[in-house]
Amino acid sequence: MQTTQHVEDPGTADWRVTWRMGLLVTAFAVLAFLPAVSCGFVNFDDGPNFQTNLTLDYPWGQKLAWAWTTRWMEVYQPLWWMLVMAEHAVWGLKPMGYHAVSLALHAAVAAALFALTLAVLRRVTTGAKGHAGASTAIAAGLASLLFCVHPLRTEMVVWLSAQPHLPSVLCMVLGVLAYLNPNQADRTPRSRLGWLVGSFLLGSAAMFFKT
């Protein structure tokens, strides 16, 4: 009796490894800093930024005007103030909510960084056409994982006054990823222009989140 052995398409297998590595990086980024959710405010900038910032109780029109005109503590970061105002509307002054948002942003940074690292490695790896090889995905995963679980990330993820770094880095990474897309040969001129405009907008947003 003859049996037919199913041979899996290499491209499918490679993409499966890629998705698994991406999920692994994101999961470990969350697990590494999960205890931060139970932390509170600290007495270094969190007081004036959150606890005693009366602006957070203003009507929305006044709050938005303040966000785009203030240089509170000598920093111009209007998009982060808008994020803080949205968080305050949901969580009030419960630090757990803000920490949960920081953790979610860090997870998004991990996923975006993995995608960018993978895109860069695909460009410099000989013969990487059509799909990323499993070894490329593993290398991108390990590099991203090292960045996302490194102790130097603690300040950004755990200290709430450092929260603006997270959406800023996220927009920056996505902006670079968008910039790389127009260079692909299969893109039309209109598509390339769209990706470049998206890259510019994301880069601008990164600067408006954190000067």
Query: Has residue 191 been placed in a domain?
Result: no
Helix (H) and strand (E) counts for the chain?
Answer: 9, 0
Query: Is residue 41 assigned to a domain?
Result: yes
Q: pLDDT tens digits for 118-156?
A: 999 988 885 545 455 788 999 999 999 999 999 999 999
Is residue 33 domain-resident?
A: yes
Q: Tell me the C-alpha distance between 12 and 1, whole Å.
A: 29
Question: Which residue range is the domain that position 88 belongs to?
Answer: 10-162
Query: Which of residues 16 and 84 earns the better pLDDT score?
Result: 84
In a domain, 157, yes or no: yes
The reported pLDDT for the residue numbered 5 is: 52
CA atoms of 37 and 163, how far apart (whole Å): 13
195 located within any domain: no
Query: For residue 15, is it within any domain?
Result: yes
Instruction: Confirm whether 156 is domain-assigned.
Output: yes
* Domain total in the chain: 1
User: Could you read off the pLDDT of 160-203 as tens digits, one per residue?
Assistant: 999 999 999 999 999 999 998 856 656 677 788 889 999 999 99
pTM metric for this prediction: 0.87
Q: How many CB atoms lie within 10 A of CB 8?
A: 8
Q: Which residue has the tokens 């790389």?
A: 180
